[in-house]
Chain A
Amino acid sequence: MALITYREALRQALKEEMHRDKNVILLGEEVAQYNGAYKVSKGLLDEFGEERVIDTPITEEGFTGVAIGAAIAGMRPVVEWMTFNFSIQAMDQVFNNAAKMLYMSGGQVNIPIVFRGPNGPAEYLASQHSQALASVYAHFPGLKVVSPATPYDAKGLLKSAIRDDNPVVFMEAELMYAWEGDVPEEEYLIEIGKADLKKEGDDVSIITFGKPLKIVTEAAEILEKRGIHADILDLRSLRPLDEEAILKTVKKTNRAVIVDESWPVASMASYIGWFISHKAFDFLDAPVELVTSEDVPMPYNHTLELAAQPSVDKIVQAVQKVMYIGEA
């Protein structure tokens, strides 16, 4: 095991896959000469050359579509969106072409491509640069969507995503790039569609994915001290969703809190909440609680922006609510 950052884990995955398969290319804004806006691709230009590590102009719809066209013809592009905020420009290409072409062509034209970059709120960036789009991408059949929260998961899932014959949307986060975690020296893959029980406890299930795993873990530590033991289920993949793992934890603890940094309406959290109520109604001892971002665009002011997002305190409160424990 080696202690490395999330950023380094992604870089290792890219590097290993680019060595393994010459059809893997990386393209996006500032990925080559600038070494990546967040330095994920540092050194890759020197190692693989400008034919495979390609700087693009600021034309998200254009280069995303070009990459899809290359994938149609057999290449395996990894598209880096500088942030998912800018991917909104490219959504037509992702939703109408990448996600649907296999279906529209009756199974003939598959698209082996990865769209990756930082998603979700960062700090002091205001509403256009700070938003979580997981629910939007997860809405579309024909895509796989993953959102790893640790360096270990990031590396294993990115390698799987690059080898996948379907389009995979791979969500990272600005604030996660410097986070550290243990990663094996030897090669490994993580199957897309498998959740991971990050912590075990019998009293309540906290279900989350991506960056909020950190505050969920902190909240669980506080709850431990209060004698409440939580299962923490890290979904890792949103599409396909590990329904079995969700039902298993909920049937064990009989209580569920879902933490999702997206907005609440039509979100992963609200879908999973419905799913649990539908499939495990008789196992529930309390209504499912959601902890999401507030239903407002992200403000710039730091106090306000923190108030707009899920927090350790909000998670603790939600857990206490599903356990019918009043304010201490």
Chain B
Amino acid sequence: MTSDNTKKQETQNPPDLKHMLGQMLLIRRFEERAAQAYGLRKIGGFLHLYIGQEAVAVGSIAHLDLKRDYVYTAYRDHGHAIACGMDVKKLMAELYGKESGCSRGKGGSMHFFDREKHFMGGNGIVGAHIPLAAGTAMKIKFNKENGVVLCFFGDGAIHQGAFHETLNLAKIWNLPVVFICENNQYGMGTDFRRVSSVDDFSIMGQSYGIPGKQVNGMDVLEVYREVGEAVYRAKEERTPILLEIKTYRYKGHSMSDPAKYRTKEELEEYKNQDPILILKDHLLKEKKLTEDEFQKMDKKIKEQVRAAADFAEESPEPALESLYEDVLV
């Protein structure tokens, strides 16, 4: 990827760093609250937390115009939904299974959707949404629109047939889609190095003629820069791109996972390069933010999340009649 592209992208779309910091913080506080509600059994089933990975969704989605661009992701989807600008009240209500939730209480944590904001889920089968993202890119190409699709998935998905079949199709049909492998290093409890023929996933596009790059996902500025280039190329050159964004989840795979497969030292090491702290420090150093401003921002976000939890709590259960609704149009 050339530095020319970087320049073009950054001039076209200078990053609003404070906004990105606020979004990352909102994701974190939202999920902390959700984990709390899970402990109180307000939320059931699977709850896959994104804490630690916030820079990936926020830095990537910051490039999109969601009137023409689209986002697909897997079941660890809270961060992407928030980065797409979805209302946290509706998200929390969805976790609580309420009618007022973004999916009317029928999707839950793994299936957030917002058709208007082009956030197309929230898919619970590992790798199964990857072809969908390419199909939506096919529509963009067919209608000669100037859009792009970001397709997020984890390191666990990269060995699925759906991934490999889709890469081939996206290349032969020149589809404007950026495949983003969020390598948080563990597919559930399995270290990716134990189950992968390569350690560097960015090369996995090479056999399909698709360019790839590794990106540090703990640094939102790097994510922003690299995804910007990838989005630019995908649109201008009509080519799929593969990015491996290295990241880390602080919590277990889901709420029931104590994450005994890794060391405390490893976890601490990543917490020291926390994406929120990195950006905060950067802004403090550049004198674009004061500690006081940050505290105010955090307080405001905590209130927003508390209001979301109240909204979820107070929302009514869905009517039993809704059971048979939404099966067919």
Q: Give A residues with C-beta under 8 Å from B.
A: 25, 51, 54, 56-57, 59, 61-75, 92-93, 96-97, 101-110, 141-142, 144, 165-166
Contacts and interface: CB of A to CB of B under 8 A. Distances in A.
B139 A97 contact: no
A108 B103 contact: yes
A62 B114 CA distance: 24
A142 B70 contact: no
Nearest to B101: A106
Contacts of A51: 142
Interface residues of B, number: 46
5 contacts: A56-B169, A66-B134, A69-B132, A103-B327, A104-B111
A72 B131 contact: no
B245 interface: no
Interface of B: 70, 72, 101-107, 111, 113-115, 120-125, 128-140, 142, 161-162, 165-166, 168-169, 172-173, 325-329
A113 B328 CA distance: 13
Contacts of B130: 65
Contact of B70 (A65, A73, A97, A165): A73
Contacts of B136: 69-70, 72-73
Given A56-B169, A102-B327, A68 B102 contact: no
B178 to A, nearest CB: 15
A165 B328 CA distance: 8
A74 B70 CA distance: 13
Given A63-B169, A106-B106, A166 B131 contact: no
Contacts of A104: 103, 106-107, 111, 113, 121-122
Find the residue from B101, B103, B132, B135 having the highest chain A CB count within 10 A.
Answer: B135
Contacts, number: 140
Contact of B329 (A65, A96, A110): A110
Contacts of A144: 328
Q: B-side binding surface: helix, strand, loop or mixed?
A: mixed
A71 B142 contact: no
A98 to B, nearest CB: 10
A59 B122 CA distance: 24
Nearest to A27: B138
A105 B172 contact: no
A107 B131 contact: no
Given A65-B130, A108-B115, A141-B327, A73 B139 contact: yes
Given A71-B135, A108-B113, A57 B161 contact: no
Q: Which 6 pairs across A and B sit closest by C-beta, in order of nearness?
A: A69-B135, A65-B131, A62-B165, A106-B104, A69-B132, A105-B113
Contacts of A73: 70, 135-136, 139-140
Contacts of B135: 65-73
Given A65-B134, A66-B135, A97-B128, 8 more contacts: A62-B131, A67-B135, A69-B135, A92-B162, A97-B125, A106-B107, A108-B115, A142-B327
B74 to A, nearest CB: 13
Contacts of A69: 72, 131-139
Contacts of B101: 106
A97 to B, nearest CB: 6
Contact of A93 (B104, B106, B128, B137): B128
Contacts of B111: 104-105
A68 B327 contact: no
B124 to A, nearest CB: 8
Nearest to A141: B327
B121 A105 contact: yes
B131 A66 contact: yes
Find the residue from A62, A144, A166 having the highest chain B CB count within 10 A.
Answer: A62
B123 A97 contact: yes
A75 B132 CA distance: 13
Contacts of B134: 65-66, 69
B139 A74 contact: yes
B320 to A, nearest CB: 15
B327 A61 contact: no
Nearest to B94: A106
Nearest to A75: B139
Nearest to B160: A61
A107 B99 CA distance: 12
A108 to B, nearest CB: 4
Nearest to B161: A61
A77 to B, nearest CB: 8
A93 B128 CA distance: 7
Contact of B121 (A66, A74, A101, A141): A101
B125 A61 contact: no
Contacts of A62: 131, 161-162, 165-166, 168-169
B58 to A, nearest CB: 23
A277 B33 CA distance: 52
B213 to A, nearest CB: 24
Contacts of B103: 104-106, 108
A57 B169 contact: yes
B165 A108 contact: no
Contact of A166 (B132, B142, B328): B328
Nearest to A66: B135
A142 B134 CA distance: 23
Contacts of A166: 328-329
A62 B130 CA distance: 9
B269 to A, nearest CB: 37
A102 B329 contact: yes
B249 to A, nearest CB: 23
Given A66-B131, A104-B113, A142-B328, A59 B169 contact: yes
Given A70-B136, A97-B123, A104-B111, A25 B172 contact: no
